[in-house]
């Protein structure tokens, strides 16, 4: 049987703190809960969703659910996972889950990475997104009130301040610590190059994808790739730059184990070929390929 929702017509059910399952974070007027099943967020099966879709999707869970602080109603969910392989069953499950979320208007942010994990990195990402969305809402002018003479406000990602290591830099760069760690590793002669490099693209009708790499040995690179999927959602920052910063953070995570166990490295020639192939697919990207200089 389908649900008609709450008295105000919403199909999303407010979350309340149960014994041992209160919010793990309170930030910017939001309550953040960890590890909640999709069925816990809804009053029941939404209209237009089949019983099969509901039975399958309702058991799926999110790593974090961000709720309004005053009502407890879910605003958006965040999930981490490995990049999806060509698995028809997994793709069907993801489609069913997304169909239910779309039916109830639940926004979802999905981060696909082989290295980043919700347990280790999720809280920081949720904090970042809450802050970025709040900043965008506060500084974004109404379209009809834009003053062409007045300078545009600084984007959240471009704010400059003091970094944890004491240097001045972009304080909202999630890859900042990884970049500092790479410099330290280079000084200690553990890397061939101190610079964490990267690129990002936004696929039409697909995710934003960020790549990041650092040269460990001459001609051998440690490479990370991250996908950021925005389902009816806005991160508050450019999703491509967020994906690239997250890829840099993943590089930093792997640099921690650089000495303990040799990381899987990619030949620079192969990385260059992959970048050229990416450039050839520029027509499939929303804003084209903006890193042609890497192919020179």
Residue 267 binned pLDDT confidence (cut-offs 50, 70, 90): very high
Least confident of 53-57, 89-93, 145-149, 226-230: 145-149
Dihedrals phi, psi of 156, to nearest 5 degrees: -55, -45
Separation CA 246–CA 243 (nearest Å) = 5
Mean pLDDT value of segment 266-291: 96
218 contact partners, CB below 8 Å, separation of at least 6:
192
Q: Percent of the chain beyond pLDDT 70?
A: 89
Which residues partner with 130 through β-bridges?
Answer: none
Do 163 and 180 form a contact (C-beta atoms < 8 A)? yes
Over 60: is that where the pLDDT of 146 sits? Answer: no
Q: pLDDT value at position 1?
A: 47
Separation CA 174–CA 128 (nearest Å) = 8
Taking only the tens place, the pLDDT of each residue in 207-229 is: 999 999 999 999 999 999 999 99
Over 80: is that where the pLDDT of 235 sits? Answer: yes
Dihedrals phi, psi of 285, to nearest 5 degrees: -105, 150
Over 80: is that where the pLDDT of 32 sits? Answer: yes
Mean pLDDT value of segment 269-286: 96
Tokens of 250: 């993943």
First to last CA, the chain: 60
Angle at 248 between CA 245 and CA 251, to 5 degrees: 160
């Amino acid at each position: 049987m389908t649900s008609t929702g709450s008295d105000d017509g919403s199909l999303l059910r407010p979350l309340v703190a149960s014994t041992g399952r209160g919010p793990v974070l309170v930030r910017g007027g939001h309550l953040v809960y960890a590890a909640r099943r999709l069925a816990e967020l809804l009053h029941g099966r939404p209209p237009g969703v089949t019983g099969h879709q509901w039975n399958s999707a309702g058991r799926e869970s999110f790593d974090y659910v961000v709720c309004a602080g005053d009502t407890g109603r879910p605003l958006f969910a965040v999930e981490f996972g490995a990049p999806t392989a060509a698995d028809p069953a997994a793709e069907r499950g993801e489609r069913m889950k997304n169909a239910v979320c779309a039916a109830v208007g639940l926004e979802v942010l999905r981060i696909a990475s082989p290295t980043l994990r919700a347990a280790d990195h999720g809280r920081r990402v949720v904090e970042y997104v809450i802050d970025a969305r709040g900043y965008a809402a506060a500084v974004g002018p109404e379209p009809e009130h834009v003053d062409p003479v007045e300078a545009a406000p600084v984007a959240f990602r471009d704010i400059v301040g003091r970094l944890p290591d004491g240097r001045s830099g972009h304080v909202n760069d999630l890859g900042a610590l990884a970049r500092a760690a790479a410099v330290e590793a280079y000084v200690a002669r553990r890397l061939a190059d101190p610079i964490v490099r990267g690129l990002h693209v936004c696929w039409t009708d697909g995710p934003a994808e960020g790549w990041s790499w650092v040269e460990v040995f001459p001609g051998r690179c440690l490479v990370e790739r991250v996908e950021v999927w925005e389902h009816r959602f806005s991160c508050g920052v450019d999703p491509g730059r967020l994906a690239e910063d997250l890829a840099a953070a993943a590089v930093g995570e792997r640099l921690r184990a650089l000495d303990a166990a040799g990381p899987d490295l990619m030949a620079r020639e192969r990385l260059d070929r992959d970048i050229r192939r990416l450039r050839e697919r520029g027509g499939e990207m929303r804003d084209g390929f903006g890193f042609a200089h890497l192919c020179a």
